[in-house]
Structure 1
């Protein structure tokens, strides 16, 4: 015989059903909110940079102007002293994208990286010598410090060719850039292939140092672009990350072009350096708007820059042969991405 249901049982059943409905509703809301939050959660991107104006200005601007957040990214910054070290980190998956100078572009040409964006054209490299040494000929038989595979190394090769000399005419020592600064300032090396702002540091020890060659001495035949690069094939595998990063770079690039004084201040703060240091560094960089870079890319000018550098890399023995620069710089990826 069925037992009658008491008013108390009815109340308990009603409360139980209500609780189940409430839990279900809350569960649905939590899932929806969680999905929404997950969709909005910023994606971390590990960005390698070099601690100078060319290598860090766009990072400083992107931070200040909130471009990373607008693109759905959260940067983790990793400093490198030169481009080859940054590209080495790409190969071990310790960084997603890195800034490199023109001297390291032989690595993308060798299939070690792909270019996502051009940053600027540099005139920061120099061949320097101790006071009183007025030419490369004055340095014959003496010790020269050269950071292997960098833009300084590249300029050294160009200078040698122009003067009809070879590396065998000198005691060439491979050194990392910070070590070169210390050795030159202390008079332990007679000459060096280096770049600003490191030369400013070398001048603190040798204020009357000689500048024998600069990028500008070869500007009629070669252009020296700095770029942002990623591991080969990364854009194809992760196009969202690539286009998001490029959108940040474009936005920061156009801010820099329109607000150079402010960009100098932001970069100085980002690097914890003096504003005067940044002003000197900014003076050796040729800048373009993103629209200008897109035009230079689609018209083939950027590819001509890269092809010219490849010829030099081949002469220097850094690459066995030149390749189609379109294999490591996809201009359509850059031009097809809008700024944040």
Structure 2
């Protein structure tokens, strides 16, 4: 019996059928993996400091809930120091925090990895002095009382600003205060200056002036950033959840690039501020596209260098006893979750 050859049309139909079958199988496998993970974890606890980055948009647009498929608990913190305490206790699974507390946390043996960049800090963190303090430059702060949240990116920036102005830490009186406490101390007249971020900074400039900011320091190589970290044990057991967490942040980042107006509206509603204030604050941070984050300029190499430089400076200042090696910091910067999030 002579075999009939398939026509080109029949071959194309068969190929399409095979592709659809493979796609459906992969989709079922992906959903099965997610269901398997979700049986282990019914809730993910995400830390936030209400920093002006994709986290705010992801929360307002419900991207976390849509991507993760399980209950999402948002836990708010005033500082990176508090975030480190929570991560050490295992009371949260992932969070945003500044590069300074990240360097400290890893330096102190906390078992978490950097998995995403929330933002590169610009003018949103600045050194402001009271108008009645008769101070017009950083060098004139000698003998003044300056408030700053210790172990924060602002603390790191302040110490560098003082050093560049020829001042030692002992030349001023530093007070360790949380942002809201800084505002209260400012109103009471207990402090002369503060290095802090918005929205508190916005209140201080009403009767104060900015001497320098993280944007100016960044141009001199003193870079600070807000990073996203995840506990290693959680990420190892729940890789798919971590990938989907990053997908939610990428969605928020994409929305900001495509529809800035909506992004600003989301920020204003989450922070309960006017849209004009939200726009002003948004402009104080640089949000980095997910694909770009994988480059050497960011997670691919430079963020590890930023963390190492931060740790070296903190050791020089006596804030930590030992600065981890660059290799140790590189080991704590993981790009595999972001890579997978971009592929899916």
TM-score over 0.5 for the pair: yes
Structure 2 contact 142–167 (Cα < 8 Å) conserved: no
CA distance 1:135–1:88, change in 2 (3 Å): same
Corresponding position of 1:186: 188
1:310 alignment partner in structure 2: 311
For structure 1, list consecutive stretches of 5 or more residues without a partner in the other structure: 1-34
Deviation of 1:292 (Å): 0.8
Q: Which moved more, 1:261-270 or 1:111-120?
A: 111-120
Residue matched to 2:48: 49
Q: 1:95 aligns with which of 87, 92, 96?
A: 92
Counterpart residue number, 1:266: 266
**CA–CA separation in structure 1 for the residues paired with 2:184 and 2:276:** 22
* Alignment pair present for 1:234 and 2:234: yes
- The 3-state SS of whatever aligns with 2:228 is strand
Distance 1:153 1:147, change over 3 A: same
Q: Counterparts of 1:90-239 in structure 2 under 5 Å?
A: 90-110=87-107, 111-112=109-110, 113-123=112-122, 124-131=124-131, 132-203=134-205, 207-219=206-218, 220-239=220-239
Measure the CA separation in 2 of the matches of 1:294 and 1:260.
23
**Which structure has the bigger radius of gyration?**
1
* CA separation of 1:255 and 1:339: change in aligned 2, threshold 3 A: farther
Q: Which moved more, 1:63-72 or 1:150-159?
A: 63-72
Aligned to 1:81: 78
The CA deviation string for residues 29-75 of structure 1, in whole angstroms up to 9 with x for no partner, is xxxxxx9x976788421111112423xx4343354264532332432
Aligned partner of residue 61 in structure 2, secondary structure: helix
Q: How many residues align?
A: 301
Distance 1:252 1:162, change over 3 A: same
Deviation at 1:92, TM superposition (A): 1.6
Q: Report the Cα offset of residue 283 of structure 1.
A: 0.8
In structure 2, runs of 5+ residues without a counterpart are: 1-31
TM-fit CA distance, 1:209: 0.9
Contact 1:97 1:229 in 2 (8 A): yes
- Provide closer, same or farther for how the CA distance between residues 286 and 259 of structure 1 changes in structure 2, counting only shifts above 3 A: same
Indicate conservation of the 8 Å contact 1:254/1:289, yes or no.
Answer: yes
TM-score, normalization: structure 1? 0.80
RMSD, aligned CA: 2.6
Q: Deviations over 1:58-105 (max 9, x none)?
A: 343354264532332432111111111112111122211111123322
Partners of 1:167 and 1:72 lie apart in 2 by: 48
1:244, distance to aligned residue in structure 2 (A): 2.3
After TM superposition, the structure 1 = structure 2 runs for residues 248-263 of structure 1, keeping only pairs within 5 Å, are: 248-263=248-263
- What is the alpha-carbon distance in structure 2 between the residues aligned to residue 144 and residue 67 of structure 1? 38
SS in 1 for 2:44: strand
Show the counterpart of 1:12: none
Q: Which residue of 2 aligns with 1:326?
A: 330
Tell me which moved more, 148-157 or 248-257. 248-257
CA contact (8 A) 2:293 2:300 kept: no
What corresponds to 2:67 in structure 1?
Answer: 70
Match of 1:24 in 2: none
